[in-house]
Chain A
Amino acid sequence: MLVYTLKRLFAGVITVWFIATATFIAMHQVPGDPLMNDKAVSAEIRANLEAKYGLDKPVTEQYFIFLGNMLSGDFGISFTQQNRRVNDIIRDHFPISAILGLLAIFFAATGGVLWGALTAIYRNRLPDIVIMFLVILGISVPSFVFAALGQLFLVNLNSLFGQSIIPVAGWGTIWHMLMPSMVLGLGTMALLTRLMRSSMLEVVNEDYIKTARAKGLSPTRIFFRHQLRNAILPVITVLGPQIAAITTGGFVVELVFAIPGLGRYFVQAVQQLDYTVIMGTTVFYGAFLVLMVIIVDILYGFIDPRVRLS
């Protein structure tokens, strides 16, 4: 177990190094100049800026400098906010995206498993049809529409009560997090519901369920101990990458709900070609994702003893 984990962690480090290298190459291939701005500047000023960010050196040398700095945990200074370190940006804003993402995953996972199990039990009956209809609505309406509708709902709720019940936007208390995390988790919840339903339906015909039923186990026990536990496996498989996707993919939600998360920084960085922020966030997210996958894989081994971790 320990050997396996260590092996995986070592492979993870290699993966992150690959990610960093690929992103570095891609970034330098994209046309555009991170130092260029609305106002054109003189050659001398440009030269100074290039020296500040080390862009005056050959690209290969820049790459090795970057690798060296990355190993010492330093991603440099942002190009757009010239007095802020990328490390500070990640430290200040990642926890916010992470909290939002985890809350969204929590909503998505509990909702998905619950609704999915429910639809499988009531297969082709009214609850199944109603939930499936909602699921389809959930996936076919884009998150920017849900974000806008969710916020509008809060405005109307507050005006109905004549005072601020739940804040419309911003960040700080648990109440600020409710609507954005629900909006963010909606798509994943729909996916998990569908996955859960189909895997529940597959499990229900398995021999061990029949055996359990024949043994005379109570339906509740069969449901929780055998059916749910086996059906939840594919759900966990997608959960790993989904966690990473959700904690990074909150750009629209962060924009609409004025949340100071890292998602906004990343999209902005790509648009502004902010080299250091792109590298910093990509490497950080890459490492985060790899870690999540490792955790999920190890978790998988615990839940399903049949899967051999070696």
Chain B
Amino acid sequence: MSLFEPTAADFEPLARQEKTEQITRPSLSYWQDAWVRLKKNTRAIISLGIIVLLGLFTLIGPLLWSVNPALQNLDQVSQAPSWAKSAVVIAPYQSWNGIRLDNYTSPARTFTSLPAPTGFSTADTPTTQRVRLAWDQVPGADGYNVYRNNRAPRDFNDLGLPLGSTYGDELSYEDRLSLEPREYYYSLVPTDGYDEYEVYSQLILTPALALTPDEAVERELITDPHEVNIGDYLTIEFHPLGTDYLGRDMLARLMEGARVSLFIGIVAPFLFVLVGIIYGGFAGYFGGQVDGLLMRFAEFVVALPFLLFMILFKIAFGIGPGESGIMPMLLALVLLSWPSTARLVRGQVLQIREEGYIEAARLLGATDHYLVLRHIIPNTMGVILVTLTFAVPAAIFTEAFLSFIGMGVAPPTPSWGSMCNEGVKTMLSHPHELIFPALLISITVLAFNLLGDGLTEALDSKMRSRD
């Protein structure tokens, strides 16, 4: 039996083999792996797309739809979405003295009943600028009440809006109260100067949508008032999503409002959830005295009255009148909202800390740093993402609530939340003022929820094995 005799050739290095058997998959870090799996999640990708679109809506939108969001148009207040309308050009408004009786004396007594007024008619062509009504004297009456309704009145108690009263010697009335180009039912009731006689006459008319040359110039429809003649028709501004209570373009306002709402709605939750994770993770991981102390401080912060500190931050920041005040609001939100996340994370960490795999890792000599980053935080991700997605609408509504009680962003800067606030008041008569901002908030929330779901699945290390 001969022993192995090494030769010189045995000491030559082996030739580099290009192909060996691959038994490992590419070594991916935890986050790389998460990204790979996130890309496979259709819902998450869609939601990412929506978030990008919202970003574009906010940043690029105003460049494409360059309507001034603060420009008021009191002729088109609370208009529902519609196609462009055309309006007739009329002469500027001239005050009207009306029709008055000379040598009028009040009737000596009141009567039990009077006949309905006659000759109830318009004094000239009714337009949305003004409707001028005139009638014949009712002998025995010492005044008249004028009503306007949007539908045919059923009876005397259904005459509609009480527009105004005239004295006995005035046989005319000029209505300029937010007129729209629609059918109106005017009613005229004689009075004894105080109480009404239960009779009325009716007049049905539809004012024409109108504007003056000067108004057309102001609204940049034409450049020179002499370009148009009285009686011409002009196509007026187009508002694809309608207008608000001051006739401002809803689309432009939604785009501008997105800046405030998305900034508050995204930045604030990210910041305070981050603070909460660090704080709660720290407290939960170390436990004992540290935990007790940190948690007592968190309780202290939760109990502070938010409103009071909000005012205080505003003053501390030296926010002057008319300035947006968005930074103090952000700060107040972050400083006062983190404890709930912290508590939640701490609770999770306390639980995970006791898990077998943590002990195993620790036995293998894992450092605190490694344990927290590789094991504990990823395992709390599910719950954290849920709170994060909830914090988005909560922050948007906190801003809305603050706007509601006059501590939010300064007008005329809109925000989705404050637009909702305004919209809810007229939700029956002008639903579009509520629906559009609410829809945008819902879409934002939906997108973040789906993304959160996708992330949860992607980040969950236990689901790794199944791919």
Contact = CB atoms under 8 A, between A and B. Distances in A.
Q: In the complex they form, do A and B come into direct contact, defined as C-beta atoms under 8 angstroms apart?
A: yes
Interface of A: 11-12, 14-16, 18-19, 22-23, 26-27, 29-31, 132, 136-137, 139-145, 148, 152, 190-191, 194-195, 198-199, 201-202, 205, 207, 233-234, 237-238, 240-241, 244, 252, 266-267, 270-271, 278, 282, 285-286, 289-290, 293, 300, 304, 306-307, 310
A142, A190, A191 — most chain B CB neighbours (10 Å): A142
10 contacts: A12-B299, A14-B296, A19-B304, A141-B441, A191-B387, A198-B383, A234-B344, A237-B348, A270-B305, A307-B351
Contact of B308 (A27, A139, A144, A241): A27
Given A140-B393, A202-B382, A205-B462, A282 B303 contact: yes
Given A23-B304, A145-B424, A237-B343, A194 B389 contact: yes
Determine the main DSSP class of B at the interface with A.
Answer: helix
Contacts of B444: 140
Contacts of B350: 307
A289 B303 contact: yes
Contacts of B449: 132, 136, 194
B390 A191 contact: yes
A230 to B, nearest CB: 9
B186 to A, nearest CB: 29
A240 B299 CA distance: 11
A30 B347 contact: no
Nearest to A11: B296
A61 to B, nearest CB: 22
A15 B300 contact: yes
Contacts of B376: none
B397 interface: yes
B88 interface: no
B446 interface: yes
A198 B424 contact: no
Contacts of A198: 382-383, 385-386, 456
Give the size range of B's interface with the partner.
35 or more
Nearest to B428: A152
Contacts of B421: 144
Nearest to A141: B438
A142 B417 contact: yes
A306 B354 contact: yes
A137 B438 CA distance: 10
A250 B305 CA distance: 14
B427 interface: yes
B315 interface: yes
B299 A267 contact: no
B390 A15 contact: no
B351 A241 contact: no
A285 B303 contact: yes
Contacts of B70: none
B233 interface: no
Contact of A306 (B351, B400, B417): B351
Contacts of A145: 420, 424, 427, 434, 438
A105 B166 CA distance: 57
Top 5 A-B residue pairs of the complex, sorted by shortest distance between their CB atoms: A286-B303, A140-B445, A237-B347, A140-B442, A198-B382
B442 to A, nearest CB: 4
Given A22-B300, A286-B303, 6 more contacts: A15-B296, A198-B382, A202-B379, A241-B340, A266-B305, A285-B303
Interface string B254-265: 000000000000
Contact of B442 (A15, A137, A195): A137
B360 to A, nearest CB: 13
A111 to B, nearest CB: 16
Interface of B: 288, 292, 296, 299-300, 302-305, 307-309, 311-312, 315, 339-340, 343-344, 347-348, 350-351, 354, 356, 379, 382-383, 385-387, 389-390, 393-394, 397, 400-401, 404-405, 417, 420-421, 424, 427-428, 434, 438, 441-442, 444-446, 449, 456, 460, 462-463
B299 A136 contact: no
B299 to A, nearest CB: 5
A240 B312 CA distance: 27
A199 B456 CA distance: 11
Contacts of B393: 139-140, 142
A204 B424 CA distance: 42
B299 A15 contact: yes
Given A194-B386, A198-B383, A306-B354, A30 B312 contact: yes
Nearest to A236: B347
Nearest to B354: A306
B257 to A, nearest CB: 14
A130 B438 CA distance: 20
A233 to B, nearest CB: 6
Contacts of A252: 401
Contacts of A286: 303
Contact of A293 (B299, B424, B456, B463): B299
Contacts of B382: 198-199, 201-202
Nearest to A196: B386
Nearest to A240: B343
A198 to B, nearest CB: 4
A79 B35 CA distance: 58
B320 to A, nearest CB: 13
Contacts of B417: 142
Given A15-B300, A234-B347, A234-B348, A194 B305 contact: no
B314 to A, nearest CB: 10
Given A15-B296, A238-B343, A270-B305, A29 B348 contact: no
A2 B252 CA distance: 62
B445 A22 contact: no
Given A29-B312, A241-B339, A304-B351, A15 B303 contact: yes
Contacts of B303: 15-16, 19, 244, 282, 285-286, 289-290
Contacts of B311: 30, 270
B457 to A, nearest CB: 9
A310 to B, nearest CB: 8
A5 B291 CA distance: 16
B302 A289 contact: yes
A26, A139, A278, A286 — most chain B CB neighbours (10 Å): A139
Contacts of A132: 449
B315 to A, nearest CB: 7
A170 B12 CA distance: 96
A120 to B, nearest CB: 11
Given A15-B296, A139-B445, A238-B340, A244 B351 contact: no
A252 B356 CA distance: 47
A50 B245 CA distance: 44
Contacts of B288: 310
B390 A140 contact: no
B345 to A, nearest CB: 9
